Amino acid sequence: MKRTTVFFVLLIISATWSVAEACTNLIVTKGASADGSVMITYTCDGEFHPHLRYNPAADHGPDDYVEIKDWSGNVKGKVKQVPHTYAVLYLMNEHQVVIGETTFTGREELIDPDGLLHYWWLMRLALQRAKTAREAVEVIAELVDEYGYASEGESISIGDPNEAWLLEIIGSGPGGKGANWVAVRIPDGYICAHANKARIGEFPLDDKKNCLYSGNVIDFAIEKGYYDPSSGKPFNFSEAYCPADQQKLRYTATRVWSIFRRAAPSKDWPTDYHRGVEGAEPYPLWIKPDSKLSKADVYGLMRDHYEGTDYDMTEGVDAGPFGTPNRWRPMTWNVDGDDYTWERPISTQQTGFSFVSQSRSWLPDPIGGVFWYGVDDSYFTCYVPFYCCVDAVPDCYAKGNMGEFSWDSAWWVTNFIANFANLKYSYMKEDIQKVQFELEGTFDALQPSIEKTAVELYKKNPELLATYLTDYSTSQSAKALKRYTELAHLLIRKYNDGYVQDDNKRPQEIGYPESWYREVIRARPDQFRIESDDTLETDLPY
């Protein structure tokens, strides 16, 4: 009997990736991480309520297939199943292979409306069929060759316990065949970042160990006029398939710059490129960090608003009196005929979910792969551990929708906290991060003992391992939800009506920072002025 994969049907119905076009990824190779793990980060940015999914491993018959549906639930086509598919927890499989992405759009004329597979299908099919990052690249390449590619340009991060790869892919246009793509292995000891802009420039044509690419990637660019070999310049994938203007660079390259300047502060990272200065040198595809990055370091990099730089989003009149880094959409606007744009940070309020993964070669796969998962704004989320062998996900991450607030949804609770914080951001962030750091610190402290027991189970009673680690992840999820719900109640009470309650729960007037008062006076110098006298009332009645 022919069967479809229920996981994919649920995924399409939830429309998780329909708005994920503005994301940030960081790739950390094992030689660049403090503990020797390969780490991949992914902020999936868009206004949607994510659902954490689990799809078990399965065996399939020769007539089995996966139905590919559009957003309306209409069947577009089908993909032949393989004899065995691996278990997948959202974007990490049972072999510690993990995938993230950012959309770079590129040349929109290369979108093929008749292509069968969008990038999210490719990611999941690859996770179900690949045991290594390199195999995942090969699976994606085979799928687009056979079934066609339907998305815009994509940069796809792929990691396993030993290697990390970056795959960049774009279509061949209406009526075209397959896709144009290149994949490079990130050298051990280095990190790579991408954020809605193709990053692979020149690449080796004769190093199959470290670089794979579609056979027509250069010839197609020549045919379309994207590359002129007579120019004497070597072929550059990014320049050919993802040319950028000033606005695009500010939106994308600033995030890469900020990760690099924080990971390797000893180097001079000029701002010219991300400001769109003509002739400025692009940032390298990968860099060696000044010191090896811990998981906490990576968390910090994904919680960045350009603090301490000229682009600090917590400073200036646009940050309001209490330094909120959030800017409401649209990103660009026009005043008196001039165009303007907000900065686009790594951490942004409309993130649906994000993760930091660990793939560790020295541990058995069921224990080595950890999917640290958080919902909503990465600055205020709490990353909860899910081991890649878990066989169920907690309801607080699996249920909920945008149409109805629920205290049972981790996303809604975190979203409430992040939104409420905008009332007095510089104050509330201290309360929020206290709980956030407490929870994440507890998870880190428990990890060695949890994994010690897990290793013993793996050796002596492996059938209990998945149950043990599933129960652990579920209990920690419940703990995080409970603490964040308590935190929400605290914020409502402590910051009621613009006051800040003291330790005795008495409301205190705190007013505004002097810098904000000065902005008010500058804009309206006479509106609020009062004549000075010796009887100025500072305690006026309500």
Question: Alpha-carbon dihedral of residues 35, 37, 38, 41, nearest 10 degrees?
Answer: -70
Burial-class residue 60 by CB neighbours within 10 Å (0-12, 13-18, 19+): middle
- In this prediction, residue 72 carries a pLDDT of 80
Distances (CA, A) of 359 to 124, 134, 162, 341, 538: 18, 15, 8, 38, 60
pLDDT tens for 297-353 read: 999 999 999 999 999 999 999 999 999 999 999 999 999 999 999 999 999 999 999
The per-residue pLDDT for 73 is 84
HSE-CB for 108 with a 13 A CA cutoff:
1
Give the C-alpha separation, 382 to 411, whole Å.
Answer: 11
| The Cα angle at residue 97 between residues 95 and 99, in degrees rounded to 5 | 155
**What is the distance between the alpha carbons of residues 43 and 376, in angstroms, rounded to a whole number?**
9
Residue 540 CA to residue 72 CA, distance in Å, equals 60
- Of 392, 338, 350, the closest CA to residue 375 belongs to 350
Tokens of 486: 């308590």
Per-residue confidence (pLDDT) for residue 298, from 0 to 100: 98
Helix (H, G, I), strand (E, B) or coil at 166: strand
The total number of residues shown for the chain amounts to 542
Contact by Cβ (8 Å): 376, 369: no
In sequence order, what are the residues at sequence separation of 6 or more whose Cβ sits closer than 8 angstroms to the Cβ of residue 148? 112, 114, 115, 116, 117, 177, 178
b/e string for 19-49 if b means 16 or more Cβ within 10 A?
ebbbbbbbbbbbebbeeebbbbbbbbbbebb
Bond preceding residue 525 cis, omega within 30 of 0: no
Q: What pLDDT is stored for residue 531 in this prediction?
A: 82
Would you call 182 helix, strand, or coil by DSSP?
Answer: strand
pLDDT given for residue 19 in this prediction: 47
The confidence score (pLDDT) of residue 1 equals: 36
Distance of CA 373 to the CA centre of its chain: 10
Contacts 24+ apart (CB under 8 A), 441-445: 443/383, 443/384, 443/385, 443/476, 444/295, 444/296
pLDDT at position 2: 38
The DSSP secondary-structure symbol of 404 reads B
Range list of β-strands (E), 118-188: 153-159, 164-170, 180-185
What local confidence, expressed as pLDDT, does residue 21 receive?
62
> What is the CB neighbour count within 10 angstroms for residue 61?
11
Query: What is the rounded distance in angstroms from the CA atom of residue 174 to the CA atom of residue 109?
Result: 8
pLDDT tens across 41-95, in order?
Answer: 999 999 999 999 999 999 999 999 999 987 788 899 999 999 999 999 999 999 9
Q: Quick one: which of 49, 45, 104, 51 has its CA closest to 349?
A: 45
φ, ψ (nearest 5 deg) of residue 504: -95, 10
Tell me the backbone φ, ψ of residue 158, rounded to 5 degrees: -135, 125
DSSP assignment of 88-131: EETTEETTS-EEEEEEEE--GGG--TT--B-HHHHHHHHHHH-S
In 10 A of CB 97, how many CB atoms? Answer: 31
User: Distance (Å, rounded) from C-alpha 397 to C-alpha 52?
Assistant: 5
Q: Could you state, in order of their start, the residue ranges of all structural domains in the chain?
A: 6-304, 363-494
Question: CA-CA distance, 96 to 451, in Å (whole number)?
Answer: 16
* Per-residue burial over 406-442, b = 16 or more CB atoms within 10 Å of its CB, e = otherwise: eeebbbbbbbbbbebbeebbebbbebbeebbeebbee
Mean pLDDT, consecutive 10-residue stretches, the chain (542 aa), reads 39 42 93 98 96 98 94 90 98 98 97 95 97 98 97 98 98 94 98 98 98 98 98 97 95 98 97 96 98 98 98 97 96 95 96 98 98 98 98 97 97 98 98 98 98 97 96 98 98 97 96 95 94 61 62
